[in-house]
Structure 1
Amino acid sequence: MLTACTVNSDAPKMLRQTTWTLISDTLLSFAAMDIPSILAQATSPSFETQSKVLLASTEANVARIDAQIQDLICLREREQATVVALKFVTAPVRKVPMELLVEIFLQVGYAADLDAGIDSEATYGHRRPRTALRARFRLSHVSRYWRTVALRTPRLWVAELPIRVFKDEPAYILMTKQLLDRSAPFPIPIRAVYILLKPSSDGKAKKAASPAILDAIASVADRWSTVYFEGVDIFPALRRLPVGMGALCMPHLSALRIQRQRGEGLTASLDRRWLAPKLTTLDASRMANVSALPIAWSQLTNLTLGSNSPDTILTILLQCTSLVEAKVEPLIWRTPQPVLASPPVVLARLKTLVLNFFSGEGDGDSWGMLFIEPFFDRLSAPALESLELTVNVDYAWTPQLALALAQYLTRSPQLLKFAMTWSSLVAQELVQLLAAMPSVKTFSLDFCQWCITDQVLVRMTDHGTGNVNTGLGPVLLPRLEVLELHTVDDAFSDDVLTAMIQSRWWPDPNSPPVPQPTVSRLETVSLWTGDNDCRKLSESVELQESVKVLQEQGLYIQLG
């Protein structure tokens, strides 16, 4: 315990002697001059003179007592500090080897990261990087020894820092640099988000990011592991780095996520080649001029991409031959695109593909033809397992588009899940698509208002022996287990729908009916006709009676 008191080493002996003398003198004074005698002598002519002498003596006694009390307090504090120091020195934690203490520190840091949500891909609003950093500060503030151990453990400081890129105070800039340096030489995650949540009340423009902070982030680019920038343009800072060997080396970078980039002067800022051999994940869904990124597209396995130009996205996809998962959000073409004679590029490892198309002139436009065929004509994904296709505009599908998609599906024989939102397919075109994906287990269709008819449902019904002798052709989607049809209107009959579901259902999964069905057993059925003038399936008495029986047997089915 720290104290401003200074105590003589002979203080205990001196205090005993002085205190005994003071007490003795005080008792004698009170014995010779007690309160009643003072009052009795108050009328004496010489009392005033005597009282002044007595008052001075008494005040001096009080002062000496106060001084002695302060000395005792200081002595007590020194002894208490000695007790604390002895307990600390003899504490079991002091006997823990430094190596074990380091591991304990690392576990505390890891637990703090979990509590702060740093290990997840949650949105930034659910992440609390300050909590994780504060836990590390607490460890380093326990004692001088712990601080030394913490500062000598760079792995402890491998954490996501809550960097405020708009702060340009010298103290904050220095602290940011020091925290970034503490983790050297280990790779570190970088996350810098700059979003103006509310407009300024005084109409002032958003404060610019601090070049010094961005330079500090860029200075450790050789140690970046995962990087996420939102509303932050880091590329000018990267360009200001010393040229050195010419290329920008990022040996540890595995994931790069950039959103809400403006793109002014972006190409000029990216005139240096990147050496990032571990980079496999790129999220540039809101980045302008994404094709200017000087990276090796062929090594990417996960890609999220958005651009105003469908040609740009398609050109990039054609280079990403190692993709496993891809989500792209391009605009549609305004005119038909030529069909190339060259064979499609094979993305041999691609398993998941999400395509979200936009019109660029406001979603919901009800005019024009839909031209997106090149994405299906020029690509092939033989290992594809999941395809989600969304067209956020009510454009008309052409027969050429339906054919291109069917041919693409034929080249993906391992497809297990197909989901499509917004299409103007007719029944015959949908039959063409369903026939091209016999391995699908989950089929989801939203807002396809003219495609679900009796013709389609009959082709999906197992009439026995796979419909070989029925003249209907093979059963569509024979491996189907989950069927979701939403906002598909009501151009079908209740009895045809019931027959299709019943032909694909039996109560006991381990005891199929005889003869052996040629289709898989359904697990989930969800069908909604839509709003407006469509009839409600839930209002059909006969249909609901059949549904009730199926539900009692164990089928999860919802009709509306």
Structure 2
Amino acid sequence: MVACRHRSILLSTTTMATPHDRAVLIRAAQLDGTPAPEIRVLIEDTQAKITSLDSQIASLFEQREEERLSLAAMQYSIAPIRSVPVELLAHIFVQTVSLDTRNHFKEVMQIAQVCDHWRRVALNTPKLWTGTIYISNRKPRNGVSMAAQGLKTWLTRSAPLAVPVVFETDRKSTGMNREWIYPVAVDEIMKEILKVSSRWGSLIIRDAQALELPFLSTLSQYSLDMLQTVSFPASSLWLNPIQYVIISFGQTPSLRKLFVGRGVQVNNMSWSSLVDLDMDLRAPDEILAILPHCSDLVHLTVYTTAWPETSNSATLFALKRLQTLRWGCGKNGHFMPLLNHLLTPSLRHLRLDTGGQNVAWREAQFRAFQYRSPGIIDLELRDATLSPTELRSVLSCSPLLQHLALLRCANGVYEAAIRALRYEEGTPPLVPRLHDLKLSFYPNPLPQDILGDMIASRWWSDSQLARLPSPPAVTRWTQFTMVSDIDDEHSKHVMEMISRFKEEGLDVHIR
């Protein structure tokens, strides 16, 4: 009777317990009346069974893991990536990493750690190890010796290919005083990178302080057989016309691109091999002494002071491959003397920047230069002081012109340009191939009606072009940009018209 009462209480309690607790309580009720010694024997037997089952479970877990590994290995062995030829896999690796960023080292190591096969491919792909090497005077986190050994290994894996090198410095400031951080911290690293100077593909000096690195004063002693690109920033001494950072080169047979900032003078340069030259703040006579030796130039960017006087006669030197000329000129005077010397039959892109100074424009001399450069398709005039008549002369001598930018030029130029570019059927147009126009000017009167008429005169929608009995004598606009500081908003009529043209496909930017 008592046992039945206990069982009914037990069963009512189990309805509020967890499944595990209910199972325990039910098993306990089944043992009611069993002597304690017998229960202890049952406990020992049950514990032994649990131990045996745990051992079997552990063994089964191990067997399952072994089977999983076997399955993964079999799946990997027939995976498509396994059938990729080694040469293609190496190419994919090279395309995956960012060779010109600081993440290059990390990305390469991640690839090399995927598996033994990928590691072998990575180690036997020199191109993968030719990312930009940054050398600075910052103390390496893992110590100088460790960093030097790592660099040596890296350079060995990239052999025999060229590697780009960037030198940069870091200084700490205390008031007006500056001092080097860890002045000898990179000695071991510098030794390793200088050992492979013959494999430098590019030499980039990032900042003016790095121009003080000792090896630059003895650069002519190093082999630079693979060097293709050199870039020197402006020196901190450039404001003083007497002081220059002087760098002398040895043999650089592969040099193709050179950028030299203000206050830096280069000697013994292989000018004849250059295809891209960028020189900032050079004396005019220095430029005229250099350019005759640069017969293979394709791109030239130069900023100089103006000549104090001009001359109608000059000896021509040919830059027959030159396609791009960017010429900046400062201070009062003349810039035509340079153009008077140039014979550039392949010139396509011309940028002239007179720096907002009173730099004289000579119509006849510029026209003669245009006749010697008949293929110009892209012209930008910035801060030019030419007159409306001179502008019209420029346009009339540029029949192939496709892109024109007039930026902060003299007053009257913009209205003259808009009137000259307006197309009238039956009238021979100026620059018939022009399709991209950019205007940027300071406040001055600009009649909105002539602007709108000019844009409309050289624009047709696709449907309008299809209905014309014959193609127009001018190319329709593809892009029109105007930047102005005029306070008044552009006329409602012009803006509505431009909005309509934009919907029809014209790329318009007015700010």
Task: Using structure 2 for the length normalisation, give the TM-score.
Answer: 0.71
Over the aligned positions, Cα root-mean-square deviation in angstroms equals 4.6
The CA deviation at 1:88 is 12
SS in 2 for 1:312: helix
Which of 469, 477, 480 in structure 2 is aligned with 1:522?
A: 477
Which of 284, 300, 315 in structure 1 is aligned with 2:274?
A: 300
1:236-272: CA deviation from partner (whole Å, max 9, x where unpaired)? 43676896xxxx54333222233245687854x52x5
Q: Is the 8 A contact 1:211 1:237 kept in 2?
A: no
Residue correspondence of structure 1 range 57-136 to structure 2 within 5 A: 103=87, 106-107=90-91, 109-113=93-97, 116=98, 118=99, 127=101, 129=102, 131-136=103-108
SS in 1 for 2:201: strand
Distance 1:559 1:104, change over 3 A: closer
Which of 439, 442, 450 in structure 2 is aligned with 1:485?
A: 439
SS in 2 for 1:205: strand
SS in 2 for 1:173: helix
Does residue 450 in structure 1 map to residue 411 in structure 2?
Answer: yes
Distance 1:94 1:256, change over 3 A: farther
Which of 329, 332, 352 in structure 2 is aligned with 1:389?
A: 352
Q: What's 2:156 paired with?
A: 181
Q: Is the 8 A contact 2:234 2:262 kept in 1?
A: yes
Does residue 332 in structure 1 map to residue 293 in structure 2?
Answer: no
Structure 2: give runs of 5+ residues left out of the alignment: 1-36, 41-54, 238-242
SS in 1 for 2:381: strand
- Distance in 2 (CA, whole Å) between partners of 1:348 and 1:485 is 31
The CA deviation at 1:356 is 3.0
1:95-121: CA deviation from partner (whole Å, max 9, x where unpaired)? 9999979658735642442xx4x35xx
Q: What's 1:159 paired with?
A: 131
Q: Is the 8 A contact 1:446 1:488 kept in 2?
A: no
Distance 1:407 1:235, change over 3 A: farther
Does residue 279 in structure 1 map to residue 255 in structure 2?
Answer: yes
Distance 1:140 1:91, change over 3 A: farther
1:269-299: CA deviation from partner (whole Å, max 9, x where unpaired)? 52x52142x3212222456113x1x332122
- Distance in 2 (CA, whole Å) between partners of 1:185 and 1:242 is 22
- Distance in 2 (CA, whole Å) between partners of 1:101 and 1:228 is 36
Q: What's 1:229 paired with?
A: 205
Q: Is the 8 A contact 2:334 2:361 kept in 1?
A: no
Does residue 315 in structure 1 map to residue 289 in structure 2?
Answer: yes
**Corresponding letter in the other structure for 2:90:** L
Distance 1:409 1:137, change over 3 A: same
The CA deviation at 1:348 is 1.2
**Corresponding letter in the other structure for 1:222:** S
Q: Is the 8 A contact 2:220 2:250 kept in 1?
A: no
Relative to its length, the structure with more strand (as a share) is: 2
- Distance in 1 (CA, whole Å) between partners of 2:505 and 2:220 is 68
The CA deviation at 1:336 is 1.9
The CA deviation at 1:551 is 5.2
Which of 306, 329, 345 in structure 2 is aligned with 1:357?
A: 329
- Distance in 1 (CA, whole Å) between partners of 2:251 and 2:444 is 56
The CA deviation at 1:453 is 6.3
The CA deviation at 1:395 is 1.7
The CA deviation at 1:147 is 6.3
Does residue 460 in structure 1 map to residue 455 in structure 2?
Answer: no
**Corresponding letter in the other structure for 1:297:** W
Q: Is the 8 A contact 2:235 2:261 kept in 1?
A: no
- Distance in 2 (CA, whole Å) between partners of 1:384 and 1:183 is 39
Task: Using structure 1 for the length normalisation, give the TM-score.
Answer: 0.66
**Corresponding letter in the other structure for 1:133:** F
Distance 1:241 1:456, change over 3 A: closer
Q: What's 2:25 paired with?
A: none
SS in 1 for 2:401: coil
Structure 1: give runs of 5+ residues left out of the alignment: 1-30, 35-71, 120-126, 360-368, 468-474
Q: Is the 8 A contact 1:133 1:161 kept in 2?
A: no
Q: What's 1:441 paired with?
A: 402
- Distance in 2 (CA, whole Å) between partners of 1:406 and 1:284 is 31
1:329-361: CA deviation from partner (whole Å, max 9, x where unpaired)? x2322x5245273432221111122223345xx
Q: Is the 8 A contact 1:102 1:153 kept in 2?
A: no
Distance 1:148 1:518, change over 3 A: closer
Distance 1:491 1:215, change over 3 A: same
Residue correspondence of structure 1 range 41-56 to structure 2 within 5 A: none
**Corresponding letter in the other structure for 2:308:** P
The CA deviation at 1:189 is 2.3
SS in 1 for 2:305: coil
**Corresponding letter in the other structure for 1:522:** W
1:290-335: CA deviation from partner (whole Å, max 9, x where unpaired)? 3x1x33212211222213433333433332221112222x2322x5
Distance 1:313 1:104, change over 3 A: same
Distance 1:189 1:399, change over 3 A: closer
SS in 2 for 1:136: helix
Percent identity of paired positions between Structure 1 and Structure 2: 22
SS in 2 for 1:163: strand
Distance 1:308 1:214, change over 3 A: farther
Q: Is the 8 A contact 2:94 2:127 kept in 1?
A: no
Q: Is the 8 A contact 1:262 1:288 kept in 2?
A: no
The CA deviation at 1:390 is 2.2
The CA deviation at 1:220 is 0.6
